[in-house]
Amino acid sequence: MLDPLSPFRLDGKIAVVTGASSGLGVRFAKVLHAVGAQVVIAARRADRLNELAAELPGCLAVPTDVAVAADRENLIARAEEHFGRIDILVNNAGISRTGGIEVETLETFEDVQQVNTIAVWHLTKLAGVGMVQRGSGVVVNIASMLGLVGATPIKQANYSASKGAVINMTREIALQWARKGVRVNALCPGWFESEMTSGMESDEGSQRYINLNSPMPRMGYAHELDGALLFLASDASSFVTGQALVVDGGWTAR
């Protein structure tokens, strides 16, 4: 009898996850490992990476600041040297800065683009060389629903711009690689508990704002991204590329 879960299995696949020292990145690494992938985890905080690696047998931890080009190059080189290839790249690392544009600095805007957009482009390019050569591979870019709609009253032009860029960059690279066996998609979460949204889950004003404006009046739970991640990372989505899969409780459907 056909196993209905078999398309979601990643046995023997090599997956790289950035931003894997906290929040959703930790969850993504654990989920991929749970379905059989060997995982390379990357983030700046080596102590947290090592703690996570101890929980995931066969995992490779590579301390990485994705804002630094040399670190990005080292991450991909280490992963390929250790495992021989990269099958799945999850570009999860991201930052945000709040404040109206009249007080936002050029340096702040550039810093956010470096992590959220340029690093995604560069890591995809680096990992994609081997993927294209082998004729197979998957890239999952963690964007945001705020790449599709404005964020105000939480003012963060830097973040919205970066995630909008990631969504359209995903489409373009997907088109370039569609005939080369490499799929590229974006996962766009809504309001989820993470290091970036720390405090919102207990702040009365934040919760009132979310409850009043979200068709499903609450923040998402981390496990509610598991299915979307596995769908995009696995053969379950073998005919899907260039898409932005939104998991936001209906926020962008308003």
pLDDT values of the chain reduced to their tens digit, one per residue, 254 residues:
456 668 899 999 999 999 999 989 999 999 999 999 999 999 999 999 999 999 999 999 999 999 999 999 999 999 999 999 999 999 999 999 999 999 999 999 999 999 999 999 999 999 999 999 999 999 999 999 999 999 999 999 999 999 999 999 999 999 999 999 999 999 999 999 877 666 667 678 778 988 888 999 999 999 999 999 999 999 999 999 999 999 999 999 98
Q: Which position has the token pair 């490779």?
A: 60
Asked if 69 contacts 21 with a C-beta cutoff of 8 angstroms, the reply is no
Which of 137, 141, 169 has its CA nearest to residue 235?
137
**What domains can you pick out in the chain, each with its CATH number?**
8-246 (3.40.50.720)
Q: Which tokens sit at 181?
A: 């066996």
- The predicted structure's pLDDT at residue 49: 96
Which alpha helices (H) appear in 155-196, and where do they start and end? 157-177
The C-alpha torsion from 209 through 214 and 217 to 223, rounded to 10°, is -110
Q: Which position has the token pair 């690689």?
A: 177
Which amino acid, one-letter code, is at 121?
Answer: W
User: What is the C-alpha to C-alpha distance for residues 68 and 60, in angstroms, rounded to an integer?
Assistant: 20
- The predicted structure's pLDDT at residue 209: 87
Active-site hit among 8, 159, 177, 231: 159
Whether residue 221 lies in the annotated active site = no
Q: Residue 140: enclosing H or E segment and its boundaries?
A: strand 137-142
Cβ density class 227-253: b for 16+ within 10 Å, e for less: ebbbbbbbebbeeebbbbbbbbbebbe
Asked if 234 contacts 7 with a C-beta cutoff of 8 angstroms, the reply is yes
User: What is the C-alpha to C-alpha distance for residues 233 and 46, in angstroms, rounded to an integer?
Assistant: 26
Q: Which tokens sit at 212?
A: 């009043």
List the beta bridge partners of residue 39.
15
Phi then psi dihedrals of residue 113, to 5 deg: -65, -35
Phi then psi dihedrals of residue 136, to 5 deg: -160, 150
